[in-house]
Amino acid sequence: MSGRFIVFEGGEGAGKTTVAAAVGRRLAHLGHEVVLTREPGGTPAGERVRALLHENLVPWGEAFAFLVARAQIVHELIRPALERGATVLCDRFAASTMAYQGHARGLDMATLRAANMAATGGLEPELTIWLDLDPAVGLARKLGEAESIRTGLEAVAFHERVRDGYRRLMEEAAPGRWVRINAAQPLVEVEMRAWEAISGTRPRGG
Ligand code: TMP
C-alpha cells in the first residue's frame, strides 16, 4: 500500500473534524488525493451504526457496534484508498475503542485489542494526532451541538478517564507514531501544529 493513513483522536469537542478537514484541504491543494472520513461512519453500514448508538446498548454491545463500523470502513474505504495511493484522514479509529470502551468504560483491554486487530486486519495509522482538551471545556463546546450520542452526554469523570486513556496510549505508542496537540489553543494554531506533524512525517515507502 502506498498511501498514508492518518488518524485524528481526542475527546468530545476537541475539534478533530474541523482540523482534519483543514488539513485535507491543504493536502488536496498540493495535488494529493485525500479521503476524509470518520468513525463510526464512512460507509452505509457505518452510518447506520452511528444511528444505532442512540439505543441503550450494553457496554459490549456498544463496543461491537463500533467494531462493525470499523471492519466495514477498513474493507470498503480505507484499504482501497491506500492501495491507490490516497491519503486517508480518519476522524477516530481503533484508539477510540481502547480509550472509551477500554480505559473509560472498563472493558477488558486484551479482548478489545484482539477485536480491533480482527476488525482492522492489523491495519494501523502511520500517525495519530491526538487533540487534547480539558473534558469540561470540550463537553461545553459539544453540548451546544445538536448531536447527542450517548457517550457525549455522560459525566465529566468518564471523559477524564478517556483523556487518561489517550495519555497512556500515547505513552505505549512507538516513537513518532503519536503527536499530542493542545486543543485549547486557537483553532488556527491547532491546524498549524497538525499540518507540521503531517508534513514532517515521511510517507510510507518514501
Ligand atoms: P464523534 O466522532 O462525533 O466524537 O462521536 C462519536 C462518539 O462515539 C464519541 O462519543 C466517541 C464514541 N466512540 C467510542 O466510544 N468508541 C469508538 O470506538 C468510536 C469510534 C467512537
Per-residue pLDDT of the chain (206 residues; tens, 9 = 90+): 799 999 999 999 999 999 999 999 999 999 999 999 999 999 999 999 999 998 999 999 999 999 999 999 999 999 999 999 999 999 999 999 999 999 999 999 999 999 999 999 999 999 999 999 999 889 888 876 544 444 455 578 999 999 999 999 999 999 999 999 999 999 999 999 999 999 985 444 33
Rounded to whole angstroms, the Cα distance separating 27 from 33 reads: 8
For ligand 1, say whether the CB of 100 is within 6 Å of any of its atoms: yes
Q: What is the distance in A from the centroid of ligand 1 to the CA of 30?
A: 30
First to last CA, the chain: 12
Orientation of helix 16-29 relative to helix 187-199, angle to 10°: 50
User: Which atom of ligand 1 is nearest to 104's Cα?
Assistant: 15
**Eight-class DSSP state of 9:** E
Q: Is the peptide bond before 40 cis (omega within 30 degrees of 0)?
A: yes
Q: What is the distance in A from the centroid of ligand 1 to the CA of 50?
A: 9
The whole-number pLDDT of residue 82 equals 98
**Eight-class DSSP state of 201:** S
Whether 99 and 158 have beta carbons less than 8 Å apart is answered as no
Whether 205 and 2 have beta carbons less than 8 Å apart is answered as yes
The whole-number pLDDT of residue 202 equals 43
Residue ID of nearest Cα to ligand 1 atom 5: 149
Three-state SS string across 124-185, please? CCCEEEEEECCHHHHHHHHCCCCCCCHHHHCCHHHHHHHHHHHHHHHHHCCCCCEEEEECCC
Ligand 1 pocket test, pick from 12, 55, 57, 96 with the greatest ligand atom count within 8 Å of Cβ, gives 96
Residue 157 corresponds to which cell in the numbers above? Answer: 469523570
For ligand 1, say whether the CB of 116 is within 6 Å of any of its atoms: no
The whole-number pLDDT of residue 162 equals 97
User: Which atom of ligand 1 is nearest to 92's Cα?
Assistant: 20
For ligand 1, say whether the CB of 87 is within 6 Å of any of its atoms: no
Ligand 1 pocket test, pick from 73, 98, 149 with the greatest ligand atom count within 8 Å of Cβ, gives 149
The whole-number pLDDT of residue 107 equals 98
For ligand 1, say whether the CB of 40 is within 6 Å of any of its atoms: yes
Q: Whose grid coordinates read 501544529? A: 193
For ligand 1, say whether the CB of 132 is within 6 Å of any of its atoms: no
